[in-house]
């Protein structure tokens, strides 16, 4: 009886993984995983919840003022950004992933990994360089005016510092997220459906639209959601481009007007947009489940099925070359030119220290983030109760919250905790404990974890869901416990996802700016801080050396990722 009911439970479509009755009957120990999940999720939700708690305060006069003056602008710009960037990354990311996976054309092997390069370039650097290049006083327009003898009102040139400019820059910076996940999804698709499609007379384009795309929906939805959350959280780019969104409004209201409460209420509005994005993602994923079945899986052949020739091949090359050029080569080139013709007068002395700081922070945070994400994802898989799902969703919300807001959401509870520990220490030990959490590296790493857990979690979770529940049950029947299954069965299978997650978090921490500015300890600067400091003082040329250093270091994980991609070519055993 127990075996029949457990099989039925295990094959129920709604729940991926429930501890079978025979395991629950042994009770006790099984609480460890759900509790761990809840604990981690609760800890990481503290900053977000602290911010949301300010919403309980009734709106004051400042809110009325905002609502009548700037709030409509914030909403319009935010919606415009979401729509523009969403469509942009979907088109570019999916299109290039399909071309590179399924079609044969010149340079395919190169484009496969080169399309990742914009990941290494922080969005704000792309913004700074394009502004420097395309603004009215910049070289492009100045040359045009000199050649044709035009003055200001004689010609039209697209304004770079605008909503459209911000959409373009963010699309170029964020399409690799969609590209990565779409490519992995296309690679995994069994050849069967595509061959059927071809045998029914559909060409590459038609197969793509009607067969491959729907199958890849979850991956596309996850990638787009990541890109949109990054868009919502971005501050430096929209501030530089003079586009007023919720993030700039939060800064202005909190710091300029000194009203933390109203700023938190704006932050809560921002989180509303995030909920909408996440809900859309869930909707787009659909109810289907996508486990590669053991039987009937024919890996893609080494040579991709569709061959492009002539004009089509040229178009494919241009389609791949364009995002790489605009998203990486042009900004990189501008920075190189600035660095070689000016550069940072303090480059030699403090650089090793800055680089060391950035590197250490990024490495530690990457490892911790993957560890926590794995624990969370596995705990969710074991016991997907409503509470666990909800708390995990809140824990990963940090990604869409601007770094400054997270920093404040951290400073407040840390400050409270430090004061509490201090008074305890005074009472019991007779001396002050000082500041344990505020202004320490631990506080900074915690801020990064809150901010970037979503990156690690989405990657790890998508890797975990690709493992069929039957493997869990097989492992269990062979005597493995829950954690043993995770360590010895799931982890090796998920190696690729774990590595991807660690690398993505590494790159993100290297580029991170706003939270670092507020939470960092004394005498502790990173490369990103150096760039920001110089750029906001309008000394972009002097910031170029530090900026190139960020890009160079950011290239390392991109190279590793691309090697992993090269290894996962069709025809070889695909790593998970």
Partner 1 sequence: METAVAMPLPVPDREARGRARRARKGGGMSSVVRGLIGVLLLATALGGFALATAAQNREVNVYSSRHYDTDAQLFAAFTARTGIRVNVIEGGEDQLIERIRAEGANSPADVLITVDAGRLWRAQQAGLLQPIASPVLMERVPANLRDPEGYWFGLTKRARVIMYARDRVDPSELSTYEALADPKWRGKILVRSSSHVYNQSLVGALIEAHGPEWTEQWARGLVANFARRPQGGDIDQIKAVAAGEGDIAIANTYYWVRLAKSDNPEERAAAAKVGVFFPNQGPGERGTHVNISGAGVVATSRNRDNAIAFLEFLVSDEAQEIFAKGNNEYPVVAGISLDPVLASLGTFREDEVSAARFGANNPLALMIMDRAGWR
Phi and psi, residue 104, nearest 5°: -105, 120
CB of 445 to partner 1, least distance (A): 9
Q: Does 360 bind partner 1 (CB under 8 A)?
A: no
Residue 256 tokens read as: 């300029």
CB of 285 to partner 1, least distance (A): 25
Residues in 188-217 that interact with partner 1 by CB under 8 A:
none
Piece in contact with partner 1 (CB under 8 A), picked from 96-104, 112-120, 282-290, 409-417 = 409-417
Piece in contact with partner 1 (CB under 8 A), picked from 51-59, 88-96, 280-288, 482-490 = 482-490
CB of 69 to partner 1, least distance (A): 4
Taking residues 149 to 178 in sequence order and writing x for each that binds partner 1 by CB under 8 A, - otherwise, the string is --xx--------x-----------------
How many helices (H) and strands (E) in the chain? 29, 2
| Cα gap 235→92, rounded to integer Å | 23
Bridge partners, 104 (sequence order): 307
Piece in contact with partner 1 (CB under 8 A), picked from 2-10, 312-320, 379-387, 550-558 = 2-10
Question: 301 near 194, Cβ under 8 Å?
Answer: no
| Cα gap 457→392, rounded to integer Å | 9
Output 331-334 pairs: Cβ under 8 A, ≥24 positions apart: 331/121, 331/125, 331/126, 331/129, 331/130, 332/121, 332/548, 332/551, 334/129, 334/132, 334/133
Phi and psi, residue 306, nearest 5°: -100, 130
Piece in contact with partner 1 (CB under 8 A), picked from 83-91, 172-180, 529-537, 564-572 = 529-537
Residues in 82-121 that interact with partner 1 by CB under 8 A:
none
Residue 373 tokens read as: 């994400």
CB of 205 to partner 1, least distance (A): 36
Q: Which of 399, 367, 378 has the alpha carbon at shortest distance from 499?
A: 367
| Cα gap 358→524, rounded to integer Å | 10
Residue 7 φ/ψ region, left for φ over 0, alpha for ψ in the -120 to 50 degree band, beta for the rest: alpha
Piece in contact with partner 1 (CB under 8 A), picked from 204-212, 386-394, 402-410, 554-562 = 402-410
Binder of partner 1 out of 110, 387, 487, 552 (CB under 8 A): 487
Which residue, 26 or 147, has its beta carbon nearer to partner 1?
Answer: 26
Q: How many residues of this chain bind partner 1 (CB under 8 A)? A: 90
Residues in 119-138 that interact with partner 1 by CB under 8 A:
131, 135-137
**DSSP string for 349-410:** HHHHHHHHHHHHHHHHHHHHHHHHHHHHHHHHHH---HHHHHHHHHHGGGGGS-HHHHHHHH
Residues in 453-472 that interact with partner 1 by CB under 8 A:
470
Binder of partner 1 out of 230, 234, 418, 461 (CB under 8 A): 418
Question: 525 near 513, Cβ under 8 Å?
Answer: no
For residues 449-460, b (16+ Cβ closer than 10 Å) or e, as one string? bbbbbbbbbbbb
Q: Does 545 bind partner 1 (CB under 8 A)?
A: no
Bridge partners, 307 (sequence order): 104
Piece in contact with partner 1 (CB under 8 A), picked from 97-105, 223-231, 436-444, 545-553 = 436-444
Piece in contact with partner 1 (CB under 8 A), picked from 98-106, 224-232, 386-394, 431-439 = 431-439
Give residue for tokens 């922080």.
122
CB of 477 to partner 1, least distance (A): 5
Q: Does 51 bind partner 1 (CB under 8 A)?
A: no
Which residue, 23 or 560, has its beta carbon nearer to partner 1?
Answer: 23
CB of 286 to partner 1, least distance (A): 24
| Cα gap 67→160, rounded to integer Å | 28
Piece in contact with partner 1 (CB under 8 A), picked from 185-193, 249-257, 278-286, 322-330 = 249-257
CB of 558 to partner 1, least distance (A): 28
Which residue, 13 or 201, has its beta carbon nearer to partner 1?
Answer: 13
Angle between helices 527-536 and 123-134 (to 10 degrees): 30
User: SS3 of 423, please?
Assistant: helix
Q: Does 29 bind partner 1 (CB under 8 A)?
A: yes
DSSP state of 346: T
Q: Does 494 bind partner 1 (CB under 8 A)?
A: no
Residues 6+ apart with CB under 8 A from 247: 232, 233, 234, 235, 238, 239, 270, 402
Binder of partner 1 out of 481, 492, 495, 552 (CB under 8 A): 481
Which residue, 411 or 499, has its beta carbon nearer to partner 1?
Answer: 411
Q: Does 482 bind partner 1 (CB under 8 A)?
A: yes
Taking residues 56 to 85 in sequence order and writing x for each that binds partner 1 by CB under 8 A, - otherwise, the string is ---------xx--xx---------------
What are the distances in angstroms from CA 385 to CA 24, 184, 248, 390? 15, 29, 37, 9
Q: Does 20 bind partner 1 (CB under 8 A)?
A: yes
Which residue, 79 or 257, has its beta carbon nearer to partner 1?
Answer: 257
Computed from CA positions of residues 569, 570, 571, 573, in that sequence, does the dihedral angle turn out positive or negative? positive
CB of 5 to partner 1, least distance (A): 10
Binder of partner 1 out of 8, 13, 14, 26 (CB under 8 A): 26
Binder of partner 1 out of 191, 329, 346, 513 (CB under 8 A): 346
């Amino acid at each position: 009886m127990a075996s029949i009911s457990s099989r039925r439970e295990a094959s129920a479509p709604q729940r991926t993984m429930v501890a079978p009755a025979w395991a629950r009957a042994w009770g006790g120990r099984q609480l460890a995983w759900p509790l761990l999940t809840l604990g981690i999720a609760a800890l990481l939700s503290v900053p977000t919840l602290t911010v949301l708690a300010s919403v309980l305060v009734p709106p004051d006069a400042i809110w009325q003022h905002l609502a009548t003056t700037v709030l409509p602008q914030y909403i319009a710009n935010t919606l415009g950004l979401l729509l523009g960037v969403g469509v942009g990354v979907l088109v570019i990311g999916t299109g290039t992933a399909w071309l590179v996976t399924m079609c044969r054309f010149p340079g395919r092997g190169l484009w496969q990994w080169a399309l990742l390069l914009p990941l290494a370039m922080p969005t704000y650097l792309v913004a700074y360089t394009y502004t420097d290049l395309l603004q009215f006083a910049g070289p492009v327009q100045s040359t045009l005016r000199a050649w044709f003898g035009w003055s200001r009102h004689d010609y039209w040139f697209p304004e770079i510092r605008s909503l459209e400019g911000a959409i373009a820059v963010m699309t170029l910076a964020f399409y690799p997220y969609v590209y990565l996940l779409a490519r992995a999804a296309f690679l995994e698709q069994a050849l069967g459906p595509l061959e059927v499609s071809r045998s029914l007379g559909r060409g590459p384009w038609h197969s793509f639209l009607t067969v491959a795309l729907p199958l890849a929906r979850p991956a596309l939805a996850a990638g787009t959601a990541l890109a949109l959350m990054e868009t919502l959280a971005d501050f430096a780019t929209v501030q530089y481009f003079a586009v007023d969104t919720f993030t700039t409004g939060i800064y202005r209201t909190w710091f300029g007007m000194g009203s933390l409460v109203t700023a938190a209420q704006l932050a809560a509005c921002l989180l509303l947009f995030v909920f909408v994005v996440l809900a859309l993602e869930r909707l787009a994923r659909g109810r289907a489940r996508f486990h590669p079945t053991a039987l009937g899986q024919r890996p893609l052949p080494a040579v991709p099925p569709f061959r492009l020739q002539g004009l089509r091949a040229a178009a494919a090359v241009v389609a791949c070359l364009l995002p790489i050029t605009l998203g990486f080569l042009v900004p990189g080139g501008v920075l190189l030119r600035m660095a070689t013709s000016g550069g940072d007068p303090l480059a030699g002395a403090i650089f090793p220290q800055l680089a060391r700081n950035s590197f250490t922070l990024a490495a530690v945070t990457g490892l911790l983030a993957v560890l926590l994400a794995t624990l969370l994802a596995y705990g969710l898989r074991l016991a997907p109760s409503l509470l666990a799902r909800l708390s995990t969703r809140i824990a990963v919300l940090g990604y869409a919250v601007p770094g400054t807001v997270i920093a404040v959401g951290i400073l407040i509870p840390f400050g409270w905790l430090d004061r509490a520990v201090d008074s305890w220490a005074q009472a019991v030990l007779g001396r002050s404990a000082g500041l344990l959490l505020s202004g320490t590296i631990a506080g900074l790493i915690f801020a990064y974890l809150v901010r970037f857990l979503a990156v690690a979690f989405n990657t790890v979770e998508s890797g975990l869901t690709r493992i069929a529940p039957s493997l869990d049950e097989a492992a269990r029947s062979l005597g493995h416990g829950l954690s043993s299954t995770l360590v010895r069965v799931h982890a090796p299978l998920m190696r690729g996802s774990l590595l991807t997650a660690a690398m993505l978090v590494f790159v993100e921490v290297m580029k991170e700016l706003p939270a670092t500015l507020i939470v960092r300890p004394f005498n502790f600067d990173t490369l990103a801080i150096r760039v920001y400091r110089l750029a906001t003082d309008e000394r972009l040329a002097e910031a170029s050396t530090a900026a190139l250093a960020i890009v160079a270091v950011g290239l390392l994980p991109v190279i590793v990722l691309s090697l992993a991609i090269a290894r996962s070519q069709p025809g070889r055993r695909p790593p998970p």
